[in-house]
Structure 1
Amino acid sequence: MAQNQRPNQKPNPPEDFSLKETSPHLGGGRVSGGNRLTTTYDLVEQMHYLYVRVVKGKDLQGKDVTGSCDPFVEVKLGNYKGTTRYFEKNLNPEWNQVFAFSKDRIQASVVEVVVKDKNIMIDDIMGRVLFDVNEVPKRVPPDSPLAPQWYRLDDRKGEKVRGELMLAVWMGTQADEVFPDAWHSDAAAVSGEGLVNIRSKVYLSPKLWYLRVNVIEAQDLVTSDKNRNPEVYVKAVLGHLVLRTKVSQNKTINPMWNEDLMFVAAEPFEEYLVLSVEDKVGPNKDDVLGKCMVSLQNVERRLDYKPVGSRWCNLEKHVVAEGEKRKDVKFASRLHVRICLDGGYHVLDESTHYSSDLKPTAKQLWKPSIGVLELGILNAHGLFPMKTKDGRGTTDAYCIAKFGQKWVRTRTIIDSFAPKWNEQYTWEVFDPCTVITIGVFDNCHLQGGDKAAGAKDSRIGKVRIRLSTLETDRVYTHSYPLLVLHSSGLKKMGEIQLAVRFTCSSLLNMLHVYSHPLLPKMHYVHPLSVYQLDSLRHQATQIVSMRLSRAEPPLRKEAVEYMLDVGSHMWSMRRSKANFSRIVAVLSGLSAAARWFGQICSWKNPLTTILIHILFLILVLHPELILPTSFFYYFLIGIWNYRQRPRHPTHMDAQLSHADTVNANEMDEEFDTFPTSRQADMVKMRYDRVRSIAGRIQTVVGDLAAQGERVQSLLSWRDPRATALFVIFCLIASIVLYVTPFRVVAVLSGFYVLRHPRFRYNLPSVPLNFFRRLPARTDSML
């Protein structure tokens, strides 16, 4: 017993990191697993709001000595009060603003709409309009919006005064089209620029292209020193990224390289590609021999693997003379390059294990969509206080969901540890073997302006769901744990409740997708190296982060990088242990088979051993039965495992990730900066080297584990469509192999394996494509 624990004191219960199935009231009614509702917003719980739309005023009463006024409108309902912007010296203002009051928090029976005149000391009341809450009409989309009407203003005594106000008041739900841009009573404490940062919005990540710059040669370069052999290289600059070729081995004024430089470019193309030829004249000293600028608008866009024509670019050189800069054009100096925008690739802006989009960049190469993904972000509960306000802990939570190019952001729920969003979003699905990511964050930018300039939104946790593990047309309602790793260890930050449905438009088309290559053709015809992919993935992440941070309201850099799993390839002792355990779990099946065979040999179960002897004799006497018997056995195992198929989506598994048992020393290493911030230069150099090597080993080990897990998923019904295809294949194969002589099968198989290269293709085979699409436990890694 620990010394600091009392004799009768019970130990703290372990954290519950499990996935829980829930039964919320969706679309106004309870939803079971297979039901399909047709109600608007049928994957979320209905939330009722009282909407007040203030359109404009007419012929208002002048309060100033000039006979004019500075009008604004104040909408009050109980303790909640919202105000419009005010106009200077305007008797006929137009506001066109909407106010939404949550029905659950309504504690008054009258809505008061007051028109006031803005003054320095006390605002003057110009008139008001009252509405009885019980008499407010209800509106349910897709009904047309309620038409606003003119209302005469009354004073406090109920007598008519000069002026009219155009209003519309109705009771609706979050499905109302004005809901995203309305002022909410839940955010009454937020004003000014902070209001922009709490609205729900939909974002589209920029369209990314691979820019391939093939530097071939240069001609007639003019060097500053004619008596030395130039060491020339080409520097390419796109935005903030700089890439360099190697120094040409041909040390003359006509150097050659024939080297590829790869960039990621985003539409619209805002930067120029700058190519400069430089001479390495000394240590840390380079002489620019000439430059040229290429507009990406004029670069050829390649959709397939056909060769691209080259071009000669004239080099220009800037010379400073007499304190002024003038440009000397060197028409004799030229650079021979081949530049193209490759649209046949899928630009990886996230880890390939968690990819949510596998389409090529060029829209002309897209296949038809196979279905629709619907996500209902219901609520969260048990959230931790993420910051301190007025001496108490508080959390202002919002969610981000990413799938393909479409990002969505829910509204921010102010000061709540159990926020209710109830927002529903839809995505087109082109490949079922993709992952949707949902992250929860604490909004630290409610003040706006300079007060929030240095603040960063804190991560509360995220969830990943692979679509291929979902049954078609079934509504999944679960509560997912929000887990975050800190330097002190794993911490559960709360739970989020989601409703997910994957609807297939054509089952045949979706099953056909399993035979296609996972990535577009260009990845196999002209494959990129591992180093190129790492560099391009980093470039794509930075571009997406920068573009989304410039939206309104912005998706902050820290949130985008967390959603894209930036840093997941860095070395981690915890991840290495987890991947090793995954390999051990995969290989445990072989050891279990060996133990079973040992029991057979030792006659632990005489009846089973006798049956194995009989089966062995049959197969020896009739070897043509080996293959059909094996496939039929797999068919029976697959059918048997159908009853035990997984019923829940994948989620973050703390035990699988070894996050619940990691020690402080390992966490200190995982959260250490790269390069390391620890003492001793020699240790730092060695430590960084080991981390770099071990990070690659860790990735390879994880990939090996994923291959074995894909083999296990063939018959586990983790992906119900893939297992169904494999089980049907096993049945057909067992029948075909039964009626076909074994010698014929063996000869045809041998000739097929040893076929001439002329009959081979660069694209992966159908079985390999099918295998690569099988789910692994990578989605459950933390």
Structure 2
Amino acid sequence: MHPMNPQPPPNHQDDYKLKDTKPKLGERWPHGGMRGGGGWISSDRATSTYDLVEQMYYLYVRVVKAKDLPTNPISGSCDPYVEVKLGNYKGKTQHFEKKTNPEWNQVFAFSKEKFQSSNLEVFVRDREIVTRDDYVGKVVLDMNEVPTRVPPDSPLAPQWYRLEDRRGDSKVKGEIMLAVWMGTQADEAFPEAWHSDAASVHGEGVFSVRSKVYVSPKLWYLRVNVIEAQDVESQDRSQLPQVFVKAQVGNQILKTKTCPTRTTNPLWNEDLIFVAAEPFEEQLVLTVENKLNPSKDEIVGRTTLPLHIFERRLDHRPLVHPQWFNLEKFGFGILEGDKRHEHKFSTRIHLRVCLEGAYHVLDESTMYISDQRPTARQLWKHPIGIFEVGILSAQGLLPMKTKDGRGTTDAYCVAKYGQKWVRTRTIVESSNPKWNEQYTWEVYDPCTVITLGVFDNCHLGGNEKPPGSSGAGRDSRIGKVRIRLSTLETDRIYTHSYPLLVLQPSGVKKMGELQLAFRFTCLSLANMIYLYSQPLLPKMHYLHPFTVNQLDSLRYQAMNIVAVRLGRAEPPLRKEVVEYMLDADSHMWSMRRSKANFFRIVSLFSGMISMSRWLGEVCHWKNPVTSILFHVLFFILICFPELILPTIFLYMFLIGIWNYRFRPRHPPHMDTKLSWAEAVHPDELDEEFDTFPTSKPQDVTRMRYDRLRSVAGRIQTVVGDMATQGERFQALLSWRDPRATSLFIVFCLCAAVVLYVTPFKMVALVAGLYLLRHPRFRSKMPSVPSNFFKRLPARADSML
């Protein structure tokens, strides 16, 4: 098959389309704040909570403590624990050794949909290792007498209950403090509660099924400007050294170029850029090395510097002043491997080091930017909106692993926007999990993307390998959804079912559907409109830009740092999850992606082709009325050339008004046809899922193949960028971004009016003088039209 020859895709488009849903969302509950999965928004920014999810009712049982428990007459001690039972569902607290007044303070939640009994039983037992656990006492509560709590009511006060014997006829020694109430998932006890949905999970696995909110670490650029060194001596005093500097921060290692001349005072003046996470745990280690021969280097000096001593540079701050640092000189012992060293104050290195917080590191080199804010808090601006998302449920998830000989899925959902990552609880052994959890983010720029991914939890214990998996202990990816906020109408609730699509070596596969409800609320329309004229990134980004290679390397290092930090949380957000959410493999070569970007460009010329066909029909008088009207317009414009520009702007204004009827009603989603995922050749899929470097056996073929993939990956990115620019032109009048299109058509109307009343010669003179203005009157910052154009959405959001 020719690499650019399209194939007719199979007829699966109906399964891959976005579907409207009509969930029974909760009502607005007015109170002083908004709760979003662990985060609160002040009352001046929101007035409701949990109205984007279906209300799920739970029976909450808080086991606080017990007192005066009887001891075992044989052992003389008591190792108590509590078992909460509702029908066939049981939950247990931890046990305490030799304690008659234990305190648990643990909450159990039982879903109302799964109630199997009208009585709640709370047992206190004495744990025995050898024999069966002894019965201490119990409390039985009638479900009909349980009160209902609705936030923002205060938590229900616990009370003491006397323990009863097995038959419940008489009281026994000991009391237990309980609080029992009916509530919803909006209850503050919900995230930390033991859930009956995870009744089969025990031990440490309980922590991995709970919902959590994560905050990624603050990332800084560490700019090390290596200027020069003085009094560098090599081991061989008869020969001048030819040195270079190696800098290391954690696992990041960069080197300067070797000084071209042999001298004791080498000069480099090179910038080395690293990524550092706050709090700073790594140090900057600098070694000056002498190149003895192409395969051997010797260390002639070394220094270790903590990162917190360096100045933090912001936009309005001048360049930091350089400093001299003394090098630690290694002594030359007789035996190899001698570790003696001494401080040589004559040998020193000249550096200019600073921490730059005017960039956003993680999303800077991707098309799916989720946060435009710089790291430095001093450069933050006020939020312009609130984005709320209700993660409702998933439908028809495929089995991801086998457990006890049967296929099953333990699904959870992760959402990432800005520095805030959220993770829903894991619904155990369900192909149709219901989460109904709502989360909230502050929005600082509408031209950003939120990413939601569904994963299978493989860390609950006792799981077998998934069929066809390459290794155990990795959370399998089920699918991903991206939503660009600028494509949403403000204050509108969107309820859709998104297909979860994953590309596998066998082709594209639908893993299920994710049901979401979300809303973008605007806090200040004026600030949002003003934002369209501002640069995407702070001023420092344009005054000292990075190269493409630097951005790729820095983003890779930033992703590793974030994965390590989030992996240290409890429960950990694992590396494979972070990589999938951040599109770690988006820059790898793929014939499928290259073809998709190529046909994106081809589709841009369809409008020009249609226009040329229409002109051909006019010239050939296919429609006499149209040809006559065109001739009349042609003569008018020739006689009055000053009407050309206003007519063009007026025409674009009318097109924008006409296209309003056909504006997109749904946000974009993963498009398999656009991604060329269905028509891809099996051999191309084999190439896409090949390892890098390739696993081909021939050495020469491997070298050439890897080189081809590396070069082609760059070409693929350039082609994609070209397609993105063309699609942004289309977005001007397509109402994909309703605010941007409104601004543009208003501008067109104003421009048409101004050009009608202004002489054409004056317009041409002003435009020419503006384009030919002196460089002193030019700014390094991008212009307002450029900033506006870069904020327009492209179809890259729908790429799979």
> What TM-score do you get using the length of structure 1 for normalisation?
0.96
Separation in 1, partners of 2:380, 2:55? 36
Separation in 2, partners of 1:291, 1:37? 55
In structure 1, the partner of 2:33 is none
Query: 1:576-633: CA deviations, max 9, x gaps?
Result: 1000000000111111111111111010100001000001111111111111111111
Separation in 1, partners of 2:186, 2:257? 58
In structure 2, the partner of 1:144 is 154
In structure 2, the partner of 1:315 is 327
In structure 2, the partner of 1:775 is 793
**After the TM superposition, which residues 569-580 of structure 1 pair with which residues of structure 2 at under 5 Å, given as runs?**
569-580=587-598
In structure 1, the partner of 2:63 is 54
**After the TM superposition, which residues 285-300 of structure 1 pair with which residues of structure 2 at under 5 Å, given as runs?**
285-300=296-311
Deviation at 1:575, TM superposition (A): 0.4
Aligned length, in residue pairs: 766
CA contact (8 A) 1:315 1:330 kept: yes
**After the TM superposition, which residues 192-341 of structure 1 pair with which residues of structure 2 at under 5 Å, given as runs?**
192-304=203-315, 306-319=318-331, 321=333, 325-341=339-355
Q: What percent of counterpart residues are identical?
A: 68
Separation in 1, partners of 2:476, 2:111? 27
In structure 1, the partner of 2:100 is 91
In structure 1, the partner of 2:200 is 189
What is the aligned-residue RMSD (CA, Å)? Answer: 1.8
Q: What amino acid is aligned across from residue 24 of structure 2 in structure 1?
A: H
**After the TM superposition, which residues 621-770 of structure 1 pair with which residues of structure 2 at under 5 Å, given as runs?**
621-770=639-788
Q: What amino acid is aligned across from residue 145 of structure 1 in structure 2?
A: P
Separation in 1, partners of 2:408, 2:643? 69
Deviation at 1:90, TM superposition (A): 1.0
Deviation at 1:283, TM superposition (A): 3.2
Query: 1:251-302: CA deviations, max 9, x gaps?
Result: 1111110011000000000011000000111232110000011111000110
Work out which of the residue numbers 379, 386, 397 in structure 2 matches 1:365: 379
In structure 1, the partner of 2:40 is none
Q: 1:13 to 1:506 in 2, by over 3 A?
A: closer
Deviation at 1:60, TM superposition (A): 1.1
Deviation at 1:317, TM superposition (A): 2.3
Deviation at 1:228, TM superposition (A): 2.7
User: The residue matched to 2:339 in structure 1 has which SS?
Assistant: strand
Deviation at 1:488, TM superposition (A): 1.0
**After the TM superposition, which residues 471-550 of structure 1 pair with which residues of structure 2 at under 5 Å, given as runs?**
471-550=489-568
In structure 1, the partner of 2:4 is none
Separation in 1, partners of 2:298, 2:278? 33
Separation in 2, partners of 1:270, 1:547? 11
Separation in 1, partners of 2:565, 2:751? 52
In structure 2, the partner of 1:455 is 473
> What TM-score do you get using the length of structure 2 for normalisation?
0.94
Q: Is 1:41 equivalent to 2:50 in the alignment?
A: yes
Q: 1:295 to 1:37 in 2, by over 3 A?
A: closer
CA contact (8 A) 1:250 1:256 kept: no
Q: What amino acid is aligned across from residue 760 of structure 1 in structure 2?
A: R
User: The residue matched to 1:590 in structure 2 has which SS?
Assistant: helix
In structure 2, the partner of 1:411 is 425
Q: Is 1:155 equivalent to 2:165 in the alignment?
A: yes
Q: Which segment is superposed worse, 66-75 or 126-135? A: 66-75
Separation in 2, partners of 1:404, 1:311? 35
CA contact (8 A) 2:402 2:464 kept: no
CA contact (8 A) 1:193 1:448 kept: no
Separation in 1, partners of 2:148, 2:13? 48
Query: 1:442-485: CA deviations, max 9, x gaps?
Result: 00001299999951000000000000000000000000000001
Q: 1:314 to 1:568 in 2, by over 3 A?
A: same
Deviation at 1:360, TM superposition (A): 1.2
CA contact (8 A) 1:27 1:39 kept: no
Separation in 1, partners of 2:709, 2:159? 69
Q: Is 1:63 equivalent to 2:67 in the alignment?
A: no
Query: 1:352-383: CA deviations, max 9, x gaps?
Result: 20010111111101111101000100000010
Query: 1:613-665: CA deviations, max 9, x gaps?
Result: 00111111111111111111111111111111001011110000000111110
Q: What amino acid is aligned across from residue 174 of structure 2 in structure 1?
A: G
User: The residue matched to 1:377 in structure 2 has which SS?
Assistant: strand
CA contact (8 A) 2:50 2:186 kept: yes
Deviation at 1:241, TM superposition (A): 1.2
In structure 2, the partner of 1:445 is 459
Q: 1:448 to 1:553 in 2, by over 3 A?
A: farther
Q: Which segment is superposed worse, 312-321 or 703-712? A: 312-321
Deviation at 1:13, TM superposition (A): 6.4
CA contact (8 A) 1:410 1:421 kept: yes
Q: What amino acid is aligned across from residue 412 of structure 1 in structure 2?
A: T
Q: What amino acid is aligned across from residue 181 of structure 2 in structure 1?
A: W
CA contact (8 A) 1:346 1:520 kept: no
CA contact (8 A) 1:213 1:260 kept: yes
User: The residue matched to 1:535 in structure 2 has which SS?
Assistant: helix
CA contact (8 A) 2:226 2:351 kept: yes
User: The residue matched to 1:714 in structure 2 has which SS?
Assistant: helix
In structure 2, the partner of 1:33 is none
Q: What amino acid is aligned across from residue 318 of structure 2 in structure 1?
A: K
Work out which of the residue numbers 421, 425, 429 in structure 1 matches 2:435: 421
In structure 1, the partner of 2:3 is none
Query: 1:513-536: CA deviations, max 9, x gaps?
Result: 000011121111111111111111
Q: 1:12 to 1:298 in 2, by over 3 A?
A: closer
Q: Is 1:390 equivalent to 2:399 in the alignment?
A: no
Q: What amino acid is aligned across from residue 25 of structure 2 in structure 1?
A: L
Separation in 1, partners of 2:724, 2:768? 29
Q: What amino acid is aligned across from residue 741 of structure 2 in structure 1?
A: T
Q: Is 1:178 equivalent to 2:196 in the alignment?
A: no
Q: 1:749 to 1:350 in 2, by over 3 A?
A: closer
Separation in 1, partners of 2:139, 2:233? 82
In structure 2, the partner of 1:3 is none
Gaps of 5+ in 1: 1-10, 30-35
Work out which of the residue numbers 611, 623, 633 in structure 2 matches 1:615: 633
User: The residue matched to 1:353 in structure 2 has which SS?
Assistant: coil
Deviation at 1:764, TM superposition (A): 0.3
Q: What amino acid is aligned across from residue 117 of structure 2 in structure 1?
A: A
User: The residue matched to 2:528 in structure 1 has which SS?
Assistant: helix
Q: What amino acid is aligned across from residue 306 of structure 1 in structure 2?
A: P
User: The residue matched to 2:690 in structure 1 has which SS?
Assistant: coil
Deviation at 1:343, TM superposition (A): 1.2
In structure 2, the partner of 1:5 is none
User: The residue matched to 1:376 in structure 2 has which SS?
Assistant: strand
Q: 1:243 to 1:165 in 2, by over 3 A?
A: same
Separation in 1, partners of 2:454, 2:75? 53
